[in-house]
Amino acid sequence: MGLKEKAKDILLNRPDPKKISRGALVTMLQTFLQPARCFGTRSEKRFSLAAYRHGSKFFKGGRSVFTSLFTPVEIIYAFELLPFPLEPLGALAASFGISTQLLQETEKRWLSSDFCSFHRAFLGACTLGLLPRPLFLMATSHACDGTMKSFSHVAHLVSKPLFFIDVPYGDQREAVEYAAVQVQESVSEIESITGRKLREDLLAKSFGYSNKMTALLSKMQDARKASPPVVYGSETLNLLMVWAMFAGSRVGVRILESYNNEIEARLKRGFQGVAAGKRVLWLHLRPYFSGSIMSMLEEEFRAVIVAEEVNTPVEEYLDVSNPWESIARKLLSRIWSGSIENRLKNIGRIIESHGIDGVVHFSHWGCRQSNGAVRMIRDTVAGYGIPFIELDGDCVDPRNYSEGQYRTRIEAFFEIMERR
């Protein structure tokens, strides 16, 4: 039995988190980042290894916390705990080819398939008992309604408390206060549960790393503005996971430093590895199972993703002298928070600064906060006189995937870009 098959067997047939072998994890994480071939950059390999070590700690019984994609994990690191983000587990499962089984598990139990498959996948994993129990869970209502539902259900399954930050709408005084007081409350609760007080020096360190990461991400996005692309968007789309797993840690800084240095170096020496024709802005997330529309778009049609909205740096710096408020502000200023204004402005900004030829919105099934905005995004993009295409699909569930249908759409989109 091949390593991949062996790992799959362990995961599905004899689920025992402690038995998941080192090798299986490496394979899992490698496939997570690059379905069919080797790493695209040295930084990606670095990220893989960091993710492997992180996952390894988790499965070996580290003091962990289940977190949602946008939980301020800087706090978790300040408590010297291990954040384990659940949504990326769906992505991992998809790239490893086991997402169907996880989804079917929830379908058996009457969970509606109208619901986002990222959430259904981790609910399936928890239902099957694939994951070690965390100390507690910490989640936010950003970016969607679904998070509160799925995390509440997981908390019930693992019988652990959930600390939830209800992120309000808008960024006025009252909203910031309401969000900040919840962050503060969560910290008190964590102190109770762990029996230790939050150390200000550790919080300062964590904030410092997070701010450094924001600055590095900014720098990286700046470097990609006008220059020919030296890295594929399919790869950089995964950087969202760096934030989910490592925001506020030294590892996170190292990964982003590595990307910055590598991109700079490639630019300097005139790297030829990415043959670019058109420059694309990619909105939302991407499919993680194999059968890739990503390589079709970027390599076959040479419509390279030079910018992704998910990697927009949030220009709010964390301030240890006003910690809860600055975390609150950061949550409230994210592009998917509140009204559609921030998101549309950001799209416009990127189109202008990155020399974009076309915009793609991947409409992930069940993601209403994002797909509900497509009409407004289409009109915004039309205002810049460049083509827009909406690709319907599912990031995690491979069952409805039809390569031919994507090919026609991507090809047609490319033809529109070509003839301008």
Partner 1 sequence: MYTAGIDIGSVSTEMVILENAGPCRRFIIQTGISSRTAAERLFSLLDEDGGVERSDITRTVTTGYGRNAAGVGDRSVTELSCHARGAWAVDHAVRTVIDIGGQDSKVISVSPDGRSRDFIMNDKCAAGTGRFLEIIAKTLELEVAELGALALQADRGVKISSMCAVFAESEVVSLRAEGHPREKIIRGIADSIASRISGMVHRVGLEPPVMLTGGVAKNSGVVLALRETLGVDILVPPDPEFIGALGAAHIAAEEALKS
Partner 2 sequence: MKEKLIFTAYQKEIERTSSKKIGLLCPYTVEELIDAAGFTPVRLIPHEPNMRYADAYLPGTLCSYLRYVVDLSIAGELKGFRGLVINHSCDGARRTLDIFNTYMPDISTFFVDTPKKIDPYAVSYFKKELEKLKVYLQEISGVEITDLALAASIARYNENRRLLQEMYDMRANNPGAMNAQELLRVLDLNSTGPKQTTNKMLSDLLSARGPEKNGKRVFVSGNIFDTLPLLEYIEGCGGAVVGDDFCFGGRYFPVAVAENEAPLDALARRYLSRVPCGRMINFSERIDYIIEAAQKTMSAGVIYTSLKFCDNFLVDFPLFRERLDRLDIPSLFLESEYFSLRSGQVRTRVEAFLERL
User: Which residues form the interface with partner 2 (CB under 8 A)?
Assistant: 106, 109-112, 114-116, 141, 144-146, 148-150, 152-153, 156, 164, 166, 168-170, 174-175, 177-178, 181-182, 185, 338-340, 363, 365-366, 368-369, 371-376, 379
Give 185 or 200: the residue with its C-beta nearer to partner 2. Answer: 185
Contact 285, 90 (CB under 8 A): no
Give 39 or 365: the residue with its C-beta nearer to partner 2. Answer: 365
Give 22 or 375: the residue with its C-beta nearer to partner 1. Answer: 375
390: tokens are 């909406």
> β-pairing, 82-85 with 64-67?
parallel
Would you count residue 402 as binding partner 1 (CB under 8 A)?
A: yes
Would you count residue 4 as binding partner 1 (CB under 8 A)?
A: no
DSSP codes, 195-261:
T-PPPHHHHHHHHHHHHHHHHHHHHHHHHTTTSPP-S-HHHHTTHHHHHHHHTTSHHHHHHHHHHHH
Query: Shortest Cβ distance from residue 197 to partner 2 (Å)?
Result: 22
Partner touching 195 among partner 2, partner 1, none, CB below 5 to 8 Å by kind: none
Report 357-376 residues binding partner 1 (CB under 8 A). Answer: 375
Partner touching 339 among partner 1, partner 2, none, CB below 5 to 8 Å by kind: partner 2
Number of residues counted as binding partner 1 (CB under 8 A): 17
Partner touching 415 among partner 1, partner 2, none, CB below 5 to 8 Å by kind: partner 1
Would you count residue 315 as binding partner 1 (CB under 8 A)?
A: no
Measuring CA to CA, which residue among 182, 199, 79, 192 is closest to residue 140?
182
Would you count residue 419 as binding partner 1 (CB under 8 A)?
A: yes
Partner touching 419 among partner 2, partner 1, none, CB below 5 to 8 Å by kind: partner 1
Measuring CA to CA, which residue among 61, 47, 120 is closest to residue 89?
120
Give 26 or 165: the residue with its C-beta nearer to partner 2. Answer: 165
Give 301 or 336: the residue with its C-beta nearer to partner 1. Answer: 301
CA angle centred on 236, ends 231 and 241, rounded to 5°:
155
Contact range with partner 1 by CB under 8 A, out of 5-13, 297-305, 329-337, 411-419: 411-419
List, in order, residues 6 or more apart from 285 with CB less than 8 Å away.
Answer: 237, 240, 310, 362, 364, 395
CA angle centred on 32, ends 70 and 139, rounded to 5°:
20
List, in order, residues 6 or more apart from 118 with CB less than 8 Å away.
Answer: 87, 90, 91, 395, 396
Would you count residue 252 as binding partner 1 (CB under 8 A)?
A: no
Partner touching 166 among partner 1, partner 2, none, CB below 5 to 8 Å by kind: partner 2
- b/e burial code for range 1-40 (CB count within 10 A of at least 16 → b): eeebeebbebbeeeeebeebeeebbbbbbbbbbbbeeeeb
Q: Is the peptide bond before 143 cis (omega within 30 degrees of 0)?
A: yes
Would you count residue 405 as binding partner 1 (CB under 8 A)?
A: yes
Out of 358, 387, 393, 398, the residue judged to bind partner 1 by CB under 8 A: 387
Give 87 or 390: the residue with its C-beta nearer to partner 1. Answer: 390
- b/e burial code for range 277-315 (CB count within 10 A of at least 16 → b): ebbbbbbbbbbbbeebbbebbbeebebbbbbbbbbbebe
Contact range with partner 1 by CB under 8 A, out of 285-293, 300-308, 343-351, 397-405: 397-405
376: tokens are 């407004």
Partner touching 146 among partner 1, partner 2, none, CB below 5 to 8 Å by kind: partner 2
The burial of 352, by beta-carbon neighbours within 10 Å (0-12 exposed, 13-18 middle, 19 or more buried), is given as: exposed
Give 323 or 387: the residue with its C-beta nearer to partner 1. Answer: 387
Give 107 or 415: the residue with its C-beta nearer to partner 1. Answer: 415
Q: How many CA atoms lie within 13 A of 207 on its CB side?
A: 19
Q: How many CA atoms lie within 13 A of 173 on its CB side?
A: 0
Partner touching 20 among partner 2, partner 1, none, CB below 5 to 8 Å by kind: none
Query: Shortest Cβ distance from residue 389 to partner 1 (Å)?
Result: 8
Query: Shortest Cβ distance from residue 119 to partner 2 (Å)?
Result: 8
Would you count residue 404 as binding partner 1 (CB under 8 A)?
A: yes
- Binding residues for partner 1 (CB under 8 A): 375, 378, 382, 387-388, 390, 400, 402, 404-405, 408-409, 411-412, 415-416, 419
